[in-house]
Amino acid sequence: MIFILRFLSKVESLLTKGAILFAMVSWLVTVGLRAQSSEFPAGGPQCETQGTGEVTISCSYSATAAAPRENSTPRVVLNRVVISFKPSSESHMRLELTFTNDSDMKIAEKRTIYIAFDDAKGENHMRRPLPHVDFTKLEPGKPETIEERLLAPAFEPGIYSISLWIPSNDAALKFDPAHNFLLSDEGVPDIESGLNRIAKFTATPSPRKKSSRSPD
């Protein structure tokens, strides 16, 4: 009888330890999933990265709620972005950007629009103007896809933030974030920096090529 009680006590102890272990694993999985999905706020950019040698980043976006009619600030929505390039070396970067003029009329002010890549320290790694992107040519309510081809530098391994920088045309205000144009997308406008944060990507070390030399 004593043997049976001892055996049942050990079984109960093992079950208790197993339940604790299961709870810990479940908690770790939950934390991991939360960390993975917290790269952008809920409702923000939905991005997918494919490829190793040549990387393709595809993102879609959700428009913010429309402003009151009395607000005369133009609304431009970024619907989709596709970026293809080779991070390990200098390459030609291909971009497809789909915008919609979400205002009731055409946009009067033409601004130069830049694509910017910043490293994990916030330091700029690449900034290029997008000469074919002109908001004044967008028809109200009609999405338009614009293609660009740019020369991009090599990217050292690390995490990079991709933004659209739309500064003021006034030279005195060009680097004042308060006068930058912000897109009307969820999780994209960064009021503090004045940048439109459209994506993130991680550059990984390129695999070493095997030597083709035959042994001596």
| Domain count for the chain | 2
Task: State which residues form the domain around 5.
Answer: 1-31
**Domain check: are 142 and 82 in the same one?**
yes
Rounded CA-CA distance 54/84 in Å is: 7
Quick one: how many helices (H) and strands (E) in the chain?
1, 10
**Domain check: are 74 and 145 in the same one?**
yes
Does 38 reside within a domain? no
Per-residue pLDDT, averaged over 94-120, amounts to 96
**Mean pLDDT lowest among 71-80, 110-119, 130-139:** 71-80
Residue 120 backbone phi and psi in degrees, to 5: -65, -20
Rounded CA-CA distance 83/49 in Å is: 9
Tokens of 28: 């770790």
Question: Residues 6 or more apart from 149 whose CB is under 8 A from it?
Answer: 92, 93, 94, 95
**Domain check: are 84 and 117 in the same one?**
yes
What is this structure's pTM? 0.76
Q: Are 64 and 103 in contact, with CB atoms under 8 Å apart?
A: no
**Domain check: are 128 and 73 in the same one?**
yes
Average pLDDT, the chain: 83
**Mean pLDDT lowest among 55-59, 61-65, 71-75, 99-103:** 71-75
Q: 60-78 in b/e burial notation, b at 16+ Cβ within 10 A?
A: ebebbeeeeeeeeebbbbb
> Where would I find the beta strands (DSSP E) of the chain?
46-50, 55-60, 76-85, 91-101, 114-118, 124-129, 144-152, 158-165, 189-190, 195-203
The model's confidence at residue 66, banded by pLDDT at 50, 70 and 90, is: confident
28 pLDDT more than 70: no
Q: Are 164 and 183 in contact, with CB atoms under 8 Å apart?
A: yes
Given this model, what pLDDT does residue 41 score? Answer: 57
**Domain check: are 25 and 70 in the same one?**
no
**Domain check: are 15 and 86 in the same one?**
no
**Domain check: are 141 and 184 in the same one?**
yes
